[in-house]
């Protein structure tokens, strides 16, 4: 048998050769077991970043990473496990609305979600703004809750695709994150390991996303859909615009309240967010074969929202996981931030650009996200921005409402928002919400 050496694998990739399935499996296993050093893994990541990977190599990498830890099989709790994944955005509270609506359409939802990363928020952080709610669902309760409610929302097990956890941290500090095969393998390894039969990928494009151009996002979507297909999973990707925040609210309890109001069919909720949720939910329902066409699936989604069944599912899951149901009945009960201040436009004009990542970072600096892994999240802080690209504002009109804990973070947010929201004289066309579907 050939003796494998990491230095040979790095050399092969550095020189532009294709790695074999055995090379990739060997590397992932040894790295997970801490038998390959970080500096050698970093060299290989850089070689992959520069040389790329063939579709076959990318699938091999994904499967090896998916198999590096727990392999969840949900078939004893749900006949068909449907999952969704957002590549990360600002104001993206889609899971909070979509999952209960899908469950209310009769498709059981057993979802493992993550926390915020960089400027983009995370579902668990948003849900934890509901007093008492816990993402830890003991295995014994998991099945009962699916049978009773049809909906569980849990944190990822610590041992889900551990190779991805290690590689992601390494890529973050070695300028090797934005490589399409590496991102695709990272996302899909977690989805495959979590036991999804059907996967809807919400691939964000724009200033508030990882992929800045539609071409890049389409390439990433095609790669992930190809991996899903090769792994025998039904996979579809939607390319969604992230050149402005999704909905109005950014920040944990503000977003959770907005999601609840959307489920309550409150007329003052953002139309772009509801439209986005309908599309994602409909694709999940279609994959699970609970509708024959996408239009029929959307009709079902609208029905369960209007009938209040989606809200009931959300409430039932929240209460089953220890959360305070009174907040779902009346989201105005979320504890407000001590400072709530409206920022106004300094001049009149059209909103022609929103630097969405800067909006996300502003919320992080206010305490709504983590600068370091161990940071505590302040659920009450954040921003409400009702303006969208293409809108006209008069001098003195509200630009944003800042919900801050301290005068310093409020002042920082004011400065950041004045430069992140660009107002010009030229009329600007409103942004499309989606750039297409890849399947
Ligand atoms: N999200 C992930 O899970 N992994 C990446 O590499 C990028 C975004």
Model confidence pLDDT, tens digit, residues 217-251: 999 999 999 999 999 999 999 999 999 999 999 99
Which residue is catalytic, options 23, 60, 164, 355?
164
- Residue 381 sits in a domain whose CATH number is 3.90.1170.30
Which residues line ligand 1 at a C-beta cut-off of 6 Å? 87-88, 168, 177, 183, 186-187, 210
Domain identity same for 327 and 210: yes
Give the domain extent around 29: 6-52
Domain identity same for 244 and 357: no
Q: What is the pTM of this model?
A: 0.92
Domain identity same for 344 and 410: yes
Q: Which residue, 291, 312, 331, sits at the end of a domain?
A: 331
In a domain, 227, yes or no: yes
pLDDT at 153: 93
pLDDT at 373: 65
Q: What are the structure tokens assigned to 170, written together?
A: 């390494």
Residues 6+ apart with CB under 8 A from 408: none
Which residue is catalytic, options 13, 85, 111, 115?
85
In a domain, 436, yes or no: no
CA–centroid distance, 181 to ligand 1, in Å, is 11
Rounded CA-CA distance 333/257 in Å is 9
* Alpha-helical regions (H) of 92-178: 94-104, 123-127, 139-148, 162-172
Domain identity same for 250 and 141: yes
Mutate to test the pocket of ligand 1, among 62, 83, 87 (most ligand atoms within 8 A of CB): 87
Model confidence pLDDT, tens digit, residues 317-358: 999 999 999 999 999 999 999 999 999 999 999 999 999 999
pLDDT at 1: 61
In a domain, 221, yes or no: yes
- Mark the ranges of the chain whose per-residue pLDDT is less than 70: 1, 373
pLDDT at 88: 84
Domain identity same for 353 and 270: no
Model confidence pLDDT, tens digit, residues 6-53: 999 999 999 999 999 999 999 999 999 999 999 999 999 999 999 999
Count of C-beta atoms within a 10 Å radius of residue 83: 26
Looking at the DSSP bridge assignments, the partners of residue 240 are: 204, 434
Q: What are the structure tokens assigned to 306, written together?
A: 């209007």
Q: CA end-to-end span of the chain, whole Å?
A: 41
In a domain, 75, yes or no: no
CA–centroid distance, 351 to ligand 1, in Å, is 31
CA–centroid distance, 417 to ligand 1, in Å, is 27
In a domain, 70, yes or no: no
Number of domains in the chain: 3
Helix, coil or strand: residue 9: helix
- Residue 236 sits in a domain whose CATH number is 3.40.1030.10
Domain identity same for 275 and 222: yes
Look at strands 82-86 and 198-205 and give their pairing: parallel
Domain identity same for 235 and 324: yes
């Amino acid at each position: 048998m050939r003796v494998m050496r990491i230095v040979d694998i790095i050399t092969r990739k550095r020189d532009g050769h294709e790695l074999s399935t055995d090379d990739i499996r060997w590397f992932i296993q040894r790295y997970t077991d801490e038998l390959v050093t970080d500096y050698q893994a970093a060299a290989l990541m850089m070689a992959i970043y520069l040389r790329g990977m063939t579709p076959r190599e990318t699938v091999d990498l994904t499967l090896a990473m998916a198999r590096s830890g727990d392999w969840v099989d949900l078939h004893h709790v749900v006949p068909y496990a449907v999952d969704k994944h957002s590549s990360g955005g600002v104001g993206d509270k889609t899971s909070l609305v979509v999952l209960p609506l899908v469950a209310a359409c009769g498709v059981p939802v057993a979802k493992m979600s993550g926390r915020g990363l960089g400027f983009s928020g995370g579902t668990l952080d948003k849900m934890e703004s509901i007093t008492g709610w816990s993402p830890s669902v003991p295995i014994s309760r998991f099945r009962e809750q699916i049978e009773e409610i049809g909906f569980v929302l849990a944190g990822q097990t610590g041992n889900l695709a551990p190779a991805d956890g290690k590689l992601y941290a390494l890529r973050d500090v070695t300028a090797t994150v934005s490589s399409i095969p590496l991102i695709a393998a990272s996302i899909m390894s977690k989805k495959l390991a979590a036991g999804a039969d059907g996967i809807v990928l919400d691939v964000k494009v724009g200033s508030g996303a990882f992929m800045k151009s539609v071409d890049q996002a389409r390439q990433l979507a095609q790669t992930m859909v190809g991996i899903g297909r090769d792994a025998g999973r039904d996979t579809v990707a939607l390319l969604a615009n992230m050149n402005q925040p999704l909905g109005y609210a950014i920040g944990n309890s503000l977003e959770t309240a907005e999601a609840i109001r959307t489920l309550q069919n409150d007329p003052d909720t953002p139309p772009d967010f509801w439209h986005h949720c309908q599309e994602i939910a409909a694709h999940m329902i279609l994959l699970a074969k609970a509708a024959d066409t996408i239009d029929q699936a959307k009709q079902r989604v609208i029905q369960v929202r209007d009938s209040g069944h989606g809200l009931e599912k959300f409430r039932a899951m929240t209460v089953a996981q220890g959360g305070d149901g009174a907040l779902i009945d009346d989201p105005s009960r979320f504890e407000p931030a001590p400072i709530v201040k409206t920022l106004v436009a300094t001049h009149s004009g059209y909103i022609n650009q929103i630097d969405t990542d800067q909006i996300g970072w502003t919320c992080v600096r206010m305490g709504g996200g983590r600068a370091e892994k161990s940071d505590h999240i302040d659920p009450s802080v954040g921003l409400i921005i009702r303006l969208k690209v293409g809108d006209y504002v008069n001098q003195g009109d509200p630009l944003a409402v800042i919900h801050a804990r301290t005068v310093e973070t409020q002042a920082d947010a004011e400065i950041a928002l004045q430069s992140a929201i660009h107002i010009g004289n030229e009329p600007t066309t409103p942004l499309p919400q989606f750039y297409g579907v890849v399947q």
